[in-house]
């Protein structure tokens, strides 16, 4: 094994000087999955008999038009269009392992303890789900933007138009890398002259939609995530705009077996303690089960612009 937290390896946390009462978290994207209707939750896989969830797709509710039929003539049957997409729920895990000496020297405000690792487990599971979404939405067949060029108002309008032409119902959401969001803000400030109002996120909206929510522009809810992947050998970022049906996700609850070394956090994260007595090591292990899939490809547009 490797990566154990041992006393000799945490010199920045165990020094001759007294530690400050403050603790700085290293920089990371800590936004959870947005609570937005454009993201389709396919359900909990627990007890379903399979780790693969299938979502039926059917051409009803106006998909086919009525045909002109002569008076007294029989109407021909219309073939019912159908399809499906699948989501595979898989395991995602992480373990921190600390020595007894590292734990027993941890100060009252320290982070080498069970409470800190438990809180981290919940946040890490949420971040993992966001990352999975971002790594699906960068690969829609429809794309806008130019490699090496900043995200522009024209790109944003083209993405909206592509969704409208594809008959994608609003509301739309866009997930952009912070660099793309900054480029869009700069373009709006430089060219729109305030003619089209940017609706910044209120505290209530952030509470409802998540910390990644940045506001609304042209009727599109904007979110940022540093998990938006790079494209074209790192030259660009692959953000996206999409409506309901483009992305589907699923997860699974984990049965509670009453093991005193285990607990279920937030209903979906298994957090457990694994003791290696001979080495004086205690591991804190977290597991979550989730999956994300592109459902209807035409319901989304990837936005590929300069990194």
- Give pLDDT tens digits for 173-227: 999 999 999 999 888 888 755 556 666 666 666 556 657 788 888 999 999 999 9
- Let me know if residue 220 belongs to a domain: yes
Tens of pLDDT, residue by residue over 87-113, are: 999 999 999 999 999 999 888 777 889
- Let me know if residue 99 belongs to a domain: yes
Average pLDDT over residues 240-247: 95
- Let me know if residue 70 belongs to a domain: no
Residue 30 pLDDT more than 90? no
Residue 299's pLDDT band, with cuts at 50, 70 and 90, is very high
Q: Which helix (H) or strand (E) holds 135?
A: helix 114-137
- Let me know if residue 136 belongs to a domain: yes
- Let me know if residue 76 belongs to a domain: no
Average pLDDT over residues 11-38: 69
Contact 236, 306 (CB under 8 A): yes
Contact 60, 195 (CB under 8 A): no
DSSP 275: E
* Rounded Cα–Cα distance for residues 79 and 298 (Å): 21
> Could you tell me which residues come within 8 angstroms of residue 260 by beta carbon, excluding any fewer than 6 positions away?
none
> Could you tell me which residues come within 8 angstroms of residue 155 by beta carbon, excluding any fewer than 6 positions away?
144, 145, 146, 303, 305
Q: Which helix (H) or strand (E) holds 136?
A: helix 114-137
Q: Which of 12-16, 64-68, 176-180, 266-270 has the highest mean pLDDT?
A: 176-180
Question: CA 52 from chain center: how many Å?
Answer: 19
Q: What are the distances in angstroms from CA 46 to CA 88, 127, 154, 268?
A: 13, 21, 45, 10
**115: domain range?**
32-54+86-306
Count the domains in the chain. 1
- Let me know if residue 91 belongs to a domain: yes
Q: Does the pTM exceed 0.75? A: yes
- Let me know if residue 25 belongs to a domain: no
- Let me know if residue 232 belongs to a domain: yes
């Amino acid at each position: 094994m490797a990566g154990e937290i041992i006393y000799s390896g945490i010199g920045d946390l165990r020094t001759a000087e007294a530690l400050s009462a403050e603790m700085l978290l290293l920089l990371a994207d800590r936004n959870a999955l947005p609570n937005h209707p454009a993201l389709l939750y396919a359900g909990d896989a627990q007890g379903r008999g399979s780790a693969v969830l299938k979502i039926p797709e059917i051409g009803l509710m106006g998909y086919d038009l009525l045909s002109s039929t002569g008076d007294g003539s029989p109407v021909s049957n219309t073939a019912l269009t159908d399809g499906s997409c699948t989501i595979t729920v898989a395991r995602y895990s992480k373990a921190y392992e600390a020595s007894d000496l590292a734990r027993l020297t941890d100060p009252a405000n320290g982070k080498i303890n069970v409470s800190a690792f438990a809180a981290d487990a919940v946040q890490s599971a949420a971040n993992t789900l966001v990352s999975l979404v971002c790594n699906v939405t960068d690969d829609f067949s429809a794309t806008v933007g130019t490699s090496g060029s900043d995200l522009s108002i024209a790109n944003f309008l083209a993405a909206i138009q592509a969704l409208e032409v594809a008959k994608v119902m609003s509301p739309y959401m866009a997930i952009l890398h912070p660099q793309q969001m900054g480029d869009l803000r700069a373009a709006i400030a430089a060219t729109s002259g305030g003619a089209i109002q940017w609706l910044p996120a209120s505290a209530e909206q952030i509470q409802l939609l998540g910390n990644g929510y940045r506001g609304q522009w042209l009727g599109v809810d904007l979110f940022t995530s540093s998990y938006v992947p790079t494209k074209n050998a790192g030259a660009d970022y692959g953000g996206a705009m999409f409506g309901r049906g483009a992305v589907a996700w699923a997860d699974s609850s984990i049965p509670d077996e009453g093991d005193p070394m285990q607990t279920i956090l937030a209903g979906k994260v298994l957090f457990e303690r694994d003791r290696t007595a001979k080495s004086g090591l205690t591991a804190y292990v977290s597991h979550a089960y989730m999956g994300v899939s592109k459902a209807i490809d035409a319901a989304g547009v990837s936005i590929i612009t300069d990194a």
